[in-house]
Chains A and B, each alone.
Chain A
Amino acid sequence: MIMKKTIKKFSLSSCFINFGLIFLLVFALFPIVWTIYTSFRVEMDIIKNPTGLNFSELNFNAYREVWTGTDFPVLIKNSLITSFLTMVMSLTLGTLAGYSLSRSDFRAKETVLLVYLLVRVIPGVLLLIPIFLLMQKFNLLDTHIGLALAYTTFTLPAAVWLMKGFFDGLPIDLENAARVDGCSRMGALWRVVLPLVLPGIAATATLVAIEAWNDVLFALMITSSTDARTWPVGMKLLIGEFQLPWGQLTATAVLSLIPVVIGFSFAGRRMVAGLTAGGVKE
C-alpha cells in the first residue's frame, strides 16, 4: 500500500523534473548555440538586425578573415605547443608523485599532500611577479617552455591528487604478483600499473591541457610578442574600445573551442568521474 503511494508521488513530480531539466539545458547550451550561429552571420546583418534569425545568408566569411587576416593561426600553434608541454611535464611528474603517495606509507606523506593542496590557496597574482622576475633572469620570458613551466606549477597539484585517486582504485595485488614474477619496482609500474590507469591518465591529461589552453592571466604577463603569445591574449587584444567585431570574435571563439571539444569527447565522462573521485573521498 505505502510503497504504491510513494511510487505514484514520484511519477507526479517527474513532470516537474523534466521541466527543470529542459530549463537547465537551455540555460547551459543556448549561449553556446547562439555564439556558433553568430559566427556564421554577415557582420552587417549582426549590427542591423542583431537578434534576428536569418538562415539564408550564413557563410564562412568571419572564419576566413580570422584565419587569413589575423595572427590567430600562429597564436593557436603557440597555445598548442604550450598546452602540450604543460601536459607532458604535469603528467610525468604527477604520475610519479601520485604513485608514490598512493603506494607508500611514510610520516611526511600527509604534509606532502597538504603542500600540493595549499599551492591552490596562494593568489596567482602574488606568484606572478616573482615568476616574471625569475623568467627574466633565465631568459624564459616570451618562450613556450617558460609559460609551460609556470602552468605546470598550477596544474601539478591537481595532477598529483587525481593520479593518486586513480592509483588508489587499483588493487595492489597486481603489482605484488608482477614483483613475484621478477619485475623490478619500476618495471611493475611501467608494465602493469600504467597500462591499467591509462584512462585516468587520459582524463588528467585532458584537464591539465584545457587549463593551460584557457589561461589568460599568466599569458598576458609572460608573453610579449607572437613568439609565444597564446590565443586568449590575442583575443583580448582583438577587442577595441568601441566597435566590437562580433563576427570575428565569435568565429575565434568557436575555433578555440575545437580542441576543448575533442579533448572532452575523448575523456569527458572519465574526467567527470575522476574529478569527483578525488574530491569526495575522506
Chain B
Amino acid sequence: MRSTFADRRVNPLAKYFSILEGKAFAWILLIPSLTLVSFFIVYPLYRGIRLSFSEYKLLDGKNPEFNSLDNYFILFRDPDVLNATRITFTYTVIGLISQVLLGMAAALLLTKKSKYIWIARIAIMLPWFMPPVVTAYMWRFMLDAKVGIYTLLLSHIGIDIGGIGIWGDPDRALYGVLFVELWRSYPFFTLFILAGIQAIPVELRESTALDGANAFQHFRYITLPLLKPVLFVSTVLEAIKLINSPTLVLLMTEGGPADSTMVLPLLAFKKAYQAFDFGYSSTISVAVLVAISGFAIVYIRAVGFGREK
C-alpha cells in the first residue's frame, strides 16, 4: 500500500504503471503462456476431436469430410481395437502394480540414515533420466536371444529365453517391455514415496515403538495411511503416462510380434504415421481420452481424495 502511494508521488507516469498492479499484473504475466497453450493445445484438441468425426486420409488428397459417427461405429467393431484395449489394460495394471511395489521397497531402503545415502538415491534415479531410445536398444541388446548378457545369466538359473527370444515370442514380448518399463519408471514412485516418508516426523516411530509396535505394524498403520495422498497423485500420473505414451513399445517391438504388444496409442500412431488415416487415428485417441477421464473420475471417487477439504 505504502509503496503505491510513494510511486504516485515520485513517478509522473505512475498512473500508467499502476496497470501493472494486482490482478491485471497477474494476467499480463499469464497471457504469453496461455496464448501458446491455446494455439498448440486447445486448438489442436478441438481440431482433433473434429477430425475424429471425419473421413480424412492424407494420401487421398481430399479435405476432411464430416461423416458423423461412422468412425465410432467402425471403432466398436474393430477387432484390432478390442485386442489393443485388452493389451493396454494388461500393460497399465501390471505396470502400475510392479512399479508401486518396487518403488515402495526402494524408498523404504533409501530412508536409511547414512552419510553416503544420497549417492544411492541419485544412482537409482538415473534410469528415469535415460533417453527412452537408449533404454529401449540397451535392453533389446541385453535380452537378445543370441548376444544378450541377461539371456546368459538367466540360463544359468534355468530360465531359457534363447531360441526365438523374448522379442520374437508373442506370449512374452509384452512382459519383456513391462520389465524394461519397470526398470525405467519405478524411480518415479521412489522419488515421491521417499519425499512422503521424509515428511513424516521421526518421533512417531519412537512413540509407536513405546507402544510395542514392530516395524511392520508401524508401516501398516502409520506410514501407509500417511502416504495415501502421495500414492494417489503418483499412481494417477503414472497411469496416465502408461496409457498415453507408447514410446517404449514403439521403440522395442513396434507392436509386434503378431500385434501382441499393440497398445492403443501405438495403434493410433501407426494409423497416422504409416497409413496416414488421420480421421480414424483421431477417433482412437479421443476414445482413449474419454476412457482415461472416466477412469480418473471413478478412481478419484473410489479413493475419496479431496473429501477432507
A213 adjacent to B131 (CB under 8 Å): yes
Considering the complex, which residues of chain B in the window 103-121 have a beta carbon less than 8 Å from any beta carbon of chain A? 105-106, 109-110, 112, 118, 120-121
B268 adjacent to A125 (CB under 8 Å): yes
Q: Decide yes or no whether A67 CB sits under 8 A from chain B.
A: no
Partner of B25, one of A93, A185, A250: A185
Q: Decide yes or no whether B168 CB sits under 8 A from chain A.
A: no
CA A130 – CA B36 in complex, angstroms? 15
Which residues of the partner chain B approach A125 to less than 8 Å between Cβ atoms? 244, 246, 265, 268-269, 272, 281, 285
A31 adjacent to B142 (CB under 8 Å): yes
* Residues in B lying within 8 Å of A, measured CB to CB: 2-3, 6-7, 10, 17, 20-23, 25-27, 29-30, 32-34, 36-37, 40-41, 43-45, 47-48, 51, 105-106, 109-110, 112, 118, 120-127, 129-134, 137-142, 144, 146-149, 152, 183, 187, 191-192, 194-196, 199, 206, 209-210, 214-215, 229-230, 233-234, 237, 240, 243-247, 250-251, 265, 268-269, 272-273, 278, 281-282, 285-286, 288-289, 292-293, 296
Closest 4 CB pairs between A and B?
A50-B147, A276-B195, A126-B285, A130-B44
CA A186 – CA B26 in complex, angstroms? 11
Q: Mark A120-131, 1 if CB is under 8 A from B, else 0.
A: 111111111111
Q: Decide yes or no whether A21 CB sits under 8 A from chain B.
A: yes
A24 and B142 contact, Cβ closer than 8 Å, known pairs A100-B30, A184-B20: no
Which residues of the partner chain A approach B148 to less than 8 Å between Cβ atoms? 50-51
CA A250 – CA B278 in complex, angstroms? 35
Partner of B191, one of A2, A29, A122, A275: A275
Which residues of the partner chain A approach B273 to less than 8 Å between Cβ atoms? 220-221
Closest Cβ of chain B: how far from A19's Cβ, in Å? 9
A99 adjacent to B29 (CB under 8 Å): yes
A122 adjacent to B289 (CB under 8 Å): yes
Q: Decide yes or no whether A68 CB sits under 8 A from chain B.
A: no
Closest Cβ of chain B: how far from A276's Cβ, in Å? 3
Which residues of the partner chain A approach B110 to less than 8 Å between Cβ atoms? 21
CA A249 – CA B34 in complex, angstroms? 41
The B interface, classified by DSSP as helix, strand, loop or mixed, is helix
Which residues of the partner chain B approach A180 to less than 8 Å between Cβ atoms? 2-3, 6
A31 and B192 contact, Cβ closer than 8 Å, known pairs A129-B48, A214-B131: no
Which residues of the partner chain B approach A256 to less than 8 Å between Cβ atoms? 131, 133-134
Q: Decide yes or no whether A3 CB sits under 8 A from chain B.
A: yes
Q: Decide yes or no whether A94 CB sits under 8 A from chain B.
A: yes
The A interface, classified by DSSP as helix, strand, loop or mixed, is helix
Partner of B122, one of A50, A51, A119, A269: A269
CA A103 – CA B270 in complex, angstroms? 44
A249 adjacent to B141 (CB under 8 Å): yes
A2 and B209 contact, Cβ closer than 8 Å, known pairs A121-B296, A249-B141: yes
Closest Cβ of chain B: how far from A41's Cβ, in Å? 11
Partner of B29, one of A6, A97, A231: A97
A280 and B199 contact, Cβ closer than 8 Å, known pairs A2-B209, A32-B130, A38-B141: yes
Partner of A280, one of B196, B247, B289: B196
A124 and B244 contact, Cβ closer than 8 Å, known pairs A185-B25, A280-B230: yes
CA A179 – CA B147 in complex, angstroms? 66
B137 adjacent to A29 (CB under 8 Å): no
A112 and B30 contact, Cβ closer than 8 Å, known pairs A121-B289, A125-B285, A250-B138: yes
CA A258 – CA B211 in complex, angstroms? 52
Closest Cβ of chain A: how far from B46's Cβ, in Å? 8
A272 adjacent to B125 (CB under 8 Å): yes
B33 adjacent to A47 (CB under 8 Å): no
Partner of A126, one of B137, B147, B289: B289
A257 adjacent to B130 (CB under 8 Å): yes
Which residues of the partner chain A approach B147 to less than 8 Å between Cβ atoms? 46-47, 50-51, 246
Q: Decide yes or no whether A96 CB sits under 8 A from chain B.
A: yes
Q: Decide yes or no whether A20 CB sits under 8 A from chain B.
A: yes
B36 adjacent to A93 (CB under 8 Å): yes
Which residue from chain B places its CB closest to the CB of A7 in the assembled complex? B209
- 18 residue pairs from A and B, CB less than 8 Å apart: A2-B209, A21-B110, A104-B26, A123-B285, A133-B47, A149-B36, A153-B41, A182-B10, A184-B20, A214-B131, A235-B134, A235-B137, A246-B141, A249-B141, A253-B131, A276-B191, A276-B192, A280-B195
Q: Decide yes or no whether A85 CB sits under 8 A from chain B.
A: no
A3 and B240 contact, Cβ closer than 8 Å, known pairs A13-B215, A24-B124: no
Considering the complex, which residues of chain A in the window 102-159 have a beta carbon less than 8 Å from any beta carbon of chain B? 103-104, 106, 112, 115-116, 119-131, 133-134, 149-150, 152-153, 156
